[in-house]
Amino acid sequence: MSSTLRVSFTDIAFAGDAIARRDGQVLFAPYAIPGEEAVVRVVKEKRDYLMGEVVEIVAPSPHRVEPPCPLFGRCSGCQWQHIAYPYQLELKRRVVQEQLRRFGKFPDPPVAPTIGAEDPWHYRNHARFTVDAEGALCFVHRQSRELIPIPYCYIVHPRINDMLAQLQGRPRGATQLNIRYGVNTGSFLISPRLDLLKLPLPTGQPYYEEKLLGRTFRIAAASFFQVNTAQAEALVRKVIERLAPTGDEVVIDAYAGVGTFGILMATYVKHVVAIEEAAPALADAEVNAEGLGNITFIRGKTEQALWALGEPANALILDPPRSGCHRRALEALLKLSPSKAIYVSCDPATLARDLRILCEGRAAGPGGLGKNGGYRLLEVQPLDMFPHTYHIECVATLAR
């Protein structure tokens, strides 16, 4: 039987829930804000924590605002529309600090204030829908797995909303539909190919194009690309700023994807070596680098390619998937021992884990000792790539 508690929320968890403590147990509840007092219904009870849902806000936070989306709280795609945007940025900085303390054992992590988005609405250039039996384009609730029909989304680009309106109720028989849009080009991609359904928009394009900092990038349906174009440009600028190239550097771009960092870095340095495992992304990257004579592409796993490199490097950029770097990739970085390393991450917990290894100079296990020991963590810069959600992008700068 569920019970109700009156609690005061004191902090925020990485997954976006507010945190309260009661009788030695931690209680997590979505849609509350640190500093609020609320009545909460306990919906799950474990030995060391409780999960709750807010029944009544007794003392609201001054940072509480009215969410514009009528589906907020039901859709689950956004977790923080009820929080004023400036305070979202402060909470994200707080989350990064806590993850670095907890998983990285950094007692006083050097976390800068979060770089916010100029426009925190209608920023997503990519939307992924599940299609129900009636042809409705839906999002899937992250806990219940309920299909939620989406007539309009407040965080996707207006052009994607236009396409959503044209397609809604039409792709019967399909199960998934992805829409990707080039904010700076007008190019778009809808996958999979659905010619037999006679839709009002073409589908099955092999790629679309986007521009970052004035350079055009081809992006195949299977390739990763940042979902916030404006903030992706801010991210690249930050990486270039933190590397502070002089023109003589050899830079390794690990987990290169479609070549974003390496290609935009190439005009500032002597040579770029870009490593990518996925064939579609590498094919895009080679097209995207046309006209550049100082970039070399290597297809392979980063943890294998780094060990095989013969030439020394001055700097290395890591942009791994959410799971972080393979241990052997960190060992190879320590062996190569570039004077600077930039680690771009969308998961502060795995970032913290890997930064601890790099700062200690030894991976978990035998070997992996860097020629000059470990790195010094200079700064972790959160950047809000995903407003109104708990997700956080970070740029960590390390130096010998």
Burial class for 211, CB neighbours closer than 10 Å (0-12, 13-18, 19+): middle
Contact 155, 193 (CB under 8 A): no
For 307, the token pair is: 């060990």
Identify residue 86 by its one-letter amino acid code. Answer: P
> Which DSSP category does 112 fall into?
P
> Which DSSP category does 107 fall into?
S
Tell me how far CA of residue 172 lies from CA of 197, 346, 371, 400, in angstroms. 8, 35, 60, 57
Catalytic annotation present for 138: no
For 105, the token pair is: 């054992």
* CA–CA dist 88, 326 (Å, integer): 31
* CA–CA dist 257, 266 (Å, integer): 15
Identify residue 375 by its one-letter amino acid code. Answer: Y
Query: E strands along 182-321, which residues?
Result: 188-191, 207-212, 215-220, 250-254, 271-276, 295-299, 315-318
Active-site pick, 75, 78, 153, 346: 346
Mention every residue, 6+ apart, whose C-beta is less than 8 A from residue 271. 249, 250, 251, 294, 295, 296
Which residues does residue 38 pair with via DSSP β-bridges, in sequence order?
A: 7, 57
Query: E strands along the chain, which residues?
Result: 4-12, 18-22, 25-29, 37-45, 49-59, 126-131, 137-140, 147-149, 176-181, 188-191, 207-212, 215-220, 250-254, 271-276, 295-299, 315-318, 340-345, 376-383, 393-399
* CA–CA dist 138, 132 (Å, integer): 7
Task: List active site positions.
Answer: 346
